[in-house]
């Protein structure tokens, strides 16, 4: 099981590595500003070489991986080197994939600097990159040696990026721990630790997503398709914005198929709308989004499968949905 360290315990873990331990830091053009904090918390990291990639989901691809692999060889990284992934979901996803394939696998440590990274992307051992315009199509399950969570990084996070991470917190609340909703305006550290606990409990039951772990994909079947559809356009949206839209549509489907009460559907929509604005989508957008759903990794034999809610806190997997109901869900989303 991957160890998750909070604040001082995490930095102690790094500072206590053997003195001859080789390490390389991976960051992006946004999280380069976090190097100063990393060096203060872990002085020995000042001597670690840094690889910087361009920021943004559009750079989470094999071309960027190739550049990182090349620079690892330039820095003399060997099979005993540790890759320290300092960044949000793009850096931890791509960095974990790069480390897991370089020299058939080297150790890596996730140091998430965004709320999204702390409560979701860095936890659970999923690594990967986008391919052919599709989210996370190339990747593997690979456990980091450790995850270091320090909410002090969030002081540098823009408001829209913090909101981006709240989508995954809401998802954890809706599938497992509704009390998380009461913490959104409260203690940041408690919000993060409680949200991490939800994900770790699910992952520990089903590491390789054969059953229980699929519940973590609530909102993501539609959400990933929306994100992929808009990715290389002027209307590109953040991951959390797409997932927020996906959760509204999939909550509507939950009411139609899985037994979610109308009152609970209204509660979910009200919470999401209080944090996220609705996306502006056209009928043409929706036709493309539906086609992209066919590539979702939970599908079986060409049939689109969803994670839906029987009630808030109780998710069910492998729910088949007709195209007619998908169109009804889209109309519901666009009706506000």
- Identify the domain containing residue 88 by its residue range: 3-156
For residues 185 and 146, membership in a common domain is answered with: no
Taking only Cα atoms into account, the Rg of the chain, rounded to an integer number of angstroms, comes to: 20
Over 70: is that where the pLDDT of 83 sits? yes
Is 214 in the active site?
no
Which one of the listed residues 85, 136, 217, 255 is annotated catalytic? 217
Which one of the listed residues 107, 239, 241, 264 is annotated catalytic? 239
- Domain-located, residue 162: no
> What is the pLDDT at residue 296?
75
Is 209 in the active site?
yes
β-pair partners for 148:
5
Q: Which residue has the tokens 């994939």?
A: 97
The angle at the Cα of 269, spanning 264 to 274, to the nearest 5 degrees, equals 130
pLDDT in tens, 243-299: 999 999 999 999 999 999 999 999 999 999 999 999 999 999 999 999 999 887 666
Which one of the listed residues 135, 163, 199, 229 is annotated catalytic? 199
- Domain-located, residue 161: no
- Domain-located, residue 325: yes
Q: How far apart are the first and last CA of the chain?
A: 44
pLDDT in tens, 24-69: 999 999 999 999 999 999 999 999 999 999 999 999 999 999 999 9
Which one of the listed residues 107, 213, 214, 305 is annotated catalytic? 213
Over 90: is that where the pLDDT of 301 sits? no
Q: What distances in angstroms separate CA 75 from CA 54, 66, 247, one per listed residue? A: 19, 14, 43
Quick one: which of 321, 294, 297, 319 has its CA closest to 309? 319
- Domain-located, residue 217: yes
Which one of the listed residues 52, 57, 168, 227 is annotated catalytic? 168
For residues 97 and 185, membership in a common domain is answered with: no
pLDDT in tens, 192-249: 999 999 999 999 998 988 889 999 999 999 999 999 999 989 999 999 999 999 999 9
Q: What is the rounded distance in angstroms from the CA atom of residue 257 to the CA atom of residue 241?
A: 24
How many alpha carbons lie under 13 Å from residue 208 in its C-beta half-sphere? 2
Is 199 in the active site?
yes
Q: By CB neighbour count within 10 A (0-12 exposed, 13-18 middle, 19+ buried), where does 226 fall? A: buried
Is 300 in the active site?
no
- Domain-located, residue 118: yes
Of 96, 124, 156, which closes a domain?
Answer: 156
Q: What percent of the chain has pLDDT over 70?
A: 98
Over 70: is that where the pLDDT of 300 sits? no
Extended beta strands in the chain, E state: 3-6, 23-28, 50-53, 82-87, 107-112, 126-131, 134-141, 146-149, 305-311, 314-320
> What is the pLDDT at residue 294?
82
pLDDT in tens, 91-112: 999 999 999 999 999 999 999 9
Is 217 in the active site?
yes
Q: What distances in angstroms separate CA 229 from CA 210, 219, 286, 302, one per listed residue? A: 27, 16, 9, 19
For residues 65 and 145, membership in a common domain is answered with: yes
CATH code: domain of residue 92 = 3.40.50.1970
Q: What is the rounded distance in angstroms from the CA atom of residue 129 to the CA atom of residue 116?
A: 16
Domain count, the chain: 2
- Domain-located, residue 173: yes
Mean pLDDT confidence for 158-184: 96
Quick one: which of 146, 158, 321, 311 has its CA closest to 249? 321
For residues 86 and 60, membership in a common domain is answered with: yes
Token digits for 296?
A: 């979702």
Q: Cβ neighbours of residue 163 under 8 Å, at least 6 residues apart?
A: 240, 275, 276
β-pair partners for 141:
126
Q: What is the mean pLDDT of the chain?
A: 95
Over 80: is that where the pLDDT of 302 sits? no
Q: Is the dihedral of CA 78, 76, 36, 56 positive or negative?
A: negative
């Amino acid at each position: 099981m991957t160890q998750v360290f909070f604040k001082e315990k995490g930095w102690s873990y790094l500072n206590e590595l053997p003195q001859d331990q080789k390490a390389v830091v991976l960051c992006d053009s946004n999280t380069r500003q976090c190097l100063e904090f990393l060096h203060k918390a872990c002085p020995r990291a000042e001597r670690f070489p840094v690889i910087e990639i361009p920021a943004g989901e559009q750079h989470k691809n094999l071309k960027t991986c190739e550049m990182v692999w090349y620079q690892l060889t330039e820095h003399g990284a060997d099979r005993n080197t540790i890759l320290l992934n300092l960044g949000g979901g793009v850096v931890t996803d791509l960095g974990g994939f790069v480390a897991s394939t370089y020299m058939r696998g080297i150790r890596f440590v996730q140091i998430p600097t965004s709320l999204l990274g702390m409560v979701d992307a860095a936890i659970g051992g999923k690594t990967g990159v986008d391919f052919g315009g599709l989210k996370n199509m190339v990747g593997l399950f690979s456990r980091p040696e450790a995850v270091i969570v320090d909410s002090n990084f969030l002081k540098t996070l823009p408001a829209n990026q913090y909101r981006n991470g709240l989508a995954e917190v809401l998802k954890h609340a809706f599938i497992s721990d509704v009390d998380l909703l009461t913490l959104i305006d409260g203690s940041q550290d408690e919000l993060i630790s409680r949200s991490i606990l939800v994900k770790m409990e699910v992952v520990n039951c089903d590491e390789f997503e054969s059953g229980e772990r699929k519940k973590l994909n609530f909102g993501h079947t539609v959400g990933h398709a929306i994100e992929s559809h808009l990715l290389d356009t002027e209307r590109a949206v953040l991951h959390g914005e797409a997932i927020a839209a996906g959760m509204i549509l999939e909550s509507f489907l939950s009411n139609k198929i899985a037994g979610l009460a109308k009152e609970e559907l209204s509660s979910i929509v009200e919470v999401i709308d209080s944090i996220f604005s609705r996306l502006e989508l056209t009928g043409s957008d929706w036709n493309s989004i539906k086609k992209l759903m066919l590539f979702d990794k939970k599908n079986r034999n060409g049939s689109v499968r969803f994670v839906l809610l029987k009630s808030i806190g109780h998710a069910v997997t492998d729910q088949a949905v007709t195209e007619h109901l998908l169109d009804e869900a889209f109309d519901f989303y666009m009706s506000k």
